[in-house]
Structure formats: structure tokens, C-alpha cells
Amino acid sequence: MNISKFPRIRLAHLPTPLEPLKRLSAFLGGPDIWIKRDDCTGLSTGGNKTRKLEFLMAAALEEDADMVMTQGATQSNHARQTAAAAAKLGLDCHILLEDRTGYNHRDYKFNGNVLLDHLHGATMENRGSGLDMNAELENVAEEYRSKGRKVYSIPGGGSNPVGALGYANCALELLYQFSQTGLRVDHIVHATGSSGTQAGLITGLKAMNANIPLLGIGVRAPREKQEENVCSLAAKTADMLGCSGVVEPCDVVANTDYVGPGYGIPAPDTLEAIDLFAKLEGILLDPVYSAKGGAGLVDLIRKGHFKSGETVVFLHTGGAIGLAGYSHCFDIPK
């Protein structure tokens, strides 16, 4: 698995820290919990999409693009990091934002990630819910191309085989850190949505014969659809890396019990996870991805799925800036 042969631009602060969560582990009374701090990748407050963008933006420059376009939900971490990467590289950025929650709160519509999109100089269009957003993206990209722009379009979440290379590379980084620290890891857990993070990780782990189960906690799609999406993208990523067939369907596992009312809408266990990580470890989770992953981690420990004596690594996908768009969800003294 030779990732170095693919074009890449260094945007992230790597390797990200791997740290023990001693107080949370003691509070839950189960396994030893460690956290992989991909909220610390450095680009515009960080997050997992920066790893993907190292390869995606390099591909854009290889194609001589002068504009990148992408799409996501209103409070999209991916959109914010794409806008920041474009600003750093001197490219224009245009974003399509989909209303997936129906929230009309001012902070949700204009603060958090949306504010940073503006600060990075991106232009934006809004869309209602239920559309094929990647198709919408391509339609708008063609409009710009007809006007002479060289547009490189990036799917939602940066989740295509090029983007997934970032998390195949993260798998190598994790295994090196485990080796250097002498950490024997029994499980890796993370939030999974557009599939690129999970697909890249499982491809890298399987290619390196790591024998560490990977669990994605779903934030949107039903389990069968989520696993199908991840498996399909993992197969394409493995093909690109020259290790076709390394990922089997049984390797791709998603638990979608913690989606709650819907994508981007926090459930009570989402808010509890935010509270626990903030008050016990000084770590901020976001209400859309990492806190739903955290809710799954906490509940599965309480149910005995992850046991005392085991070591679980939780991969933090970032996005805490999105908390500024969700002030209406928290009981904040006036």
C-alpha cells in the first residue's frame, strides 16, 4: 500500500495526538479509553476532512483548477475546511448548503461553520432538503465551467477514493503510534456519515493486517445503507491502492442506534456525550458527528459491549466550532 505515489499537499498538523481519557474511563468503569485527536489537524479549527483535502486539493491543482466546489449541510465541517484549504491555496470556493434540520435559529444559519465559510471567502448557495446534492453540485459546476471556470468538484464529505486516501494514511499513523507507545488496542470507534473516514480506515487497517475491529457510529443513514456505502467506497479505495479485495463486507460494521431524531439534530444522549467529554476531559465534541459517536461509545460501554481490561480508541472527527450554531440546544444561564 504505497500512498506516497499519490499527489498530496500538506495541510494538516500530523501526526495528531493520541491521548488517554483517564477521567472518562474511570467514570464509566469499563475499558481504558484513548482518543485520537483529529480535531487537532490545524486547518480552520481542524477536523477529519483536512486529511482528505490533502489529496483532494492536490488533485485539483493537478487538473489546473481555479475553483473548487463542494456541498454539505448548513453547519458542514467539510465545507468549512474546504473553504479554508481553497483560501490557503489561492483558489475560489463555492459551496452548496443543504437544510437538513429545518432549524431557523439565527446562530444555526449564520454562526459556527457558516461564519467561517464567509471569513474564508467562500460563496454559497442554499438548498432545501431531500435533493440529490451531488447532482446539484455537478449542475452548478457545469454552469461555472460554461463561463470558462476550471472547476474541481468535491463530493459531500470529500468521500471518494481520492479523499479516502487520507484515512488509509491515518490507519498507518495510528498503527505506528500504537507500536511506539506499546498500546494494545482492542477496538477503534468513530462517527461515520459520508463514508470516507470509515472506508479509508478499514482499507488501511486491513491492508496492514492490523486485526483491530473498527466500528462506525452512524449519524444519518440506516445501518444496511451505511455499511453498503462504506463497503463500496472501501473497495474502490483498495483498487486505487493496489490491494483489491483486502476489505470484505464482514469487515465493515456500523451501528446506527444513535442517530436520534435525524441528521444534525442532537438527541439527549448526544448532549450527554458533549457534557461528559467537556466536564471530564476538557474536550469539545460537535452535535452532528463526534458527539453521536461519543454517545454510542458511552452507551456501548454501559451495556458491556466494550469490557474492562480492553482498550478502545475513539477517533475524534472534530467540528466543535459547530457548537456555536447550536446554542438553542443547551441550557445556558441568561
CB 122 within 8 Å of CB 80: no
| One-letter amino acid for residue 94 of the chain | H
Q: Enter the C-alpha cell of residue 191.
A: 462517527
What count of other Cβ atoms lies within 10 Å of the Cβ of residue 135?
10
Residue 76 designated active-site: yes
Q: What is the pLDDT of residue 1?
A: 79
Q: Enter the C-alpha cell of residue 218.
A: 452512524
Q: Which of 4, 25, 44, 76 is catalytic?
A: 76
Rounded Cα distance between 201 and 60, Å, is: 23
Q: Convert the pLDDT of each residue in 35-93 to its tens digit.
A: 999 999 999 999 999 999 999 999 999 999 999 999 999 999 999 999 999 999 999 99
30 has a pLDDT exceeding 70: yes
Predicted confidence band of residue 200 (pLDDT cuts 50, 70, 90) = very high
DSSP assignment string, 123-146: EEEEE-TTS-HHHHHHHHHHHHHH
Q: Convert the pLDDT of each residue in 133-157 to its tens digit.
A: 999 999 999 999 999 999 999 999 9
Q: Convert the pLDDT of each residue in 296-321 to its tens digit.
A: 999 999 999 999 999 999 999 999 99
For 273, the 3-state DSSP assignment is: helix
Strands, DSSP E only, in 107-228?
A: 123-127, 151-154, 187-192, 214-218
Q: Enter the C-alpha cell of residue 55.
A: 489529496
Q: What is the pLDDT of residue 139?
A: 97
**Helix or strand run (H / E) with residue 81:** helix 77-89
Q: Which residue has the cell 459520508?
A: 194
Enter the pTM of the model.
0.97
CB 237 within 8 Å of CB 165: yes
Supply the mean pLDDT for the chain.
97
- CA 287, 289, 291, 292 dihedral sign is positive
The total number of residues written for the chain in this structure: 334
